[in-house]
Amino acid sequence: MKKYRGVIFDLDGTLLNTIYDLSDSVNAVLQKMGAKEHTYEEYKLKIGKGFRNLIEVSLPEGTSEAKIDEALEWFLSIYDKRYMDKTVPYEGIGDALKTLDEKGILIGVNSNKRTDYTQALISHHFSDINFVGVIGERKGVNKKPDPVSALEITSAMNLKPEEVLYIGDSKTDIITGKNAGMDTAGVLWGFRGEEELAGHGADYILHSPNEICGLFCGGPEE
């Protein structure tokens, strides 16, 4: 098996189950606008391309740009107050991160969630883990699947892309990793299914967080 010295994780649907706080916040906006609300399962297919896209695809087709902008502002005001209410790490993720950290594997996070929320959630839930870089959506920087942030994290690790494994739960993550020149692993405990992940060329399919550490062959010291 190939040795990896670093790993970059997606956030939503990979490290943290954020579906409830995101969905509840968007539904509060839709209710305020008199629009149809969506189920948690429906939101699993809408999340992953940033907040504005989430609002746009949740509103009725044909909604004006001005209304989308207004809805986004409402969403942010609501989500800011509840983004840690129901969000929790997936079972086994904390242990997997701790094991990787102890093995000397360098760890990063690359999300399409805004950087301030991404960093706050990581600090809150994984304060005992050493992260080389935690990067989310930033103004003036392309979102995933553009590899710019993944490569920035890789540079901070002082590693080559082929030494890093990119792990996520959606086609956006698999494409991002491939665009960065990295091997990829798709996880099935998140928001998307095996067909999407395998169909976009994931090198590995993981059914449980317990399988993550097995991809690192004991760490770089071996």
User: 129-158 burial, b for 16+ CB within 10 Å, e for fewer?
Assistant: bebbbbbbbeeeeebbbebbbbbbbbeebe
Q: Is residue 35 part of a domain?
A: yes
Number of domains in the chain: 2
Task: Reply yes or no on whether the pLDDT at 219 is more than 50.
Answer: no
pLDDT digits (tens, 9 = 90+) for 119-161: 999 999 999 999 999 999 999 999 999 999 999 999 999 999 9
Task: Give the β-pairing of 16-17 and 88-89.
Answer: antiparallel
Residues 51 and 131 in one domain: no
140 Rama sector, left if φ>0, alpha if ψ -120 to 50, beta otherwise: left
Pair type for strands 106-114 and 6-9: parallel
Whether pLDDT at 107 is above 70: yes
In a domain, 222, yes or no: no
* Residue 162 shares a structural domain with residue 203: yes
Residue range 86-91: mean pLDDT, rounded = 98
The verdict on 105 and 180 lying in the same domain is yes
Sequence-ordered list of residues with C-beta below 8 angstroms from that of 218, at least 6 positions apart, any chain = 103
Q: Quick one: 29 and 116 in the same domain? A: no
In a domain, 220, yes or no: no
Within a domain: 142: yes
**Does residue 193 sit in the same domain as residue 105?**
yes
Examine the pLDDT at 222 and tell me if it is beyond 90.
no
pLDDT at 8: 99
Q: What is the pLDDT of residue 2?
A: 73
Do 157 and 108 fall within a single domain?
A: yes
In a domain, 104, yes or no: yes
Q: Which of 29, 63, 80 is the last residue of a domain?
A: 80
Residue 1 lies in a domain: no
Do 174 and 136 lie in a common domain?
A: yes
Residues 119 and 166 reside in one and the same domain: yes
- Is the omega angle on the peptide bond into residue 220 within 30 degrees of 0, that is, cis? no
Instruction: Tell me the residue range of the domain where 74 lies.
Output: 19-80
Q: How much is the pLDDT for 1?
A: 59
- The answer to whether residues 70 and 54 belong to one domain is yes
What pLDDT, on a 0 to 100 scale, did the predictor assign at position 135? 99
Q: Are residues 35 and 62 in the same domain?
A: yes
Measured over the CA atoms of residue 3, residue 6, residue 10 and residue 13, the dihedral's sign is positive
**Mean pLDDT, residues 93-105:** 97
Q: pTM, whole model, 2 decimals?
A: 0.95
- One domain for residues 32 and 13: no
Does residue 217 surpass a pLDDT of 80? no
Coil/strand/helix, residue 58? helix
Which residue among 80, 108, 129 closes a domain? 80
| Domain end among 80, 103, 128 | 80
How many residues appear in the chain?
222
Q: Which residue has the tokens 């590693």?
A: 159
Q: What is the pLDDT of residues 60-87, one digit of tens each?
A: 999 999 999 999 999 999 999 999 999 9
Do 64 and 133 belong to one domain? no
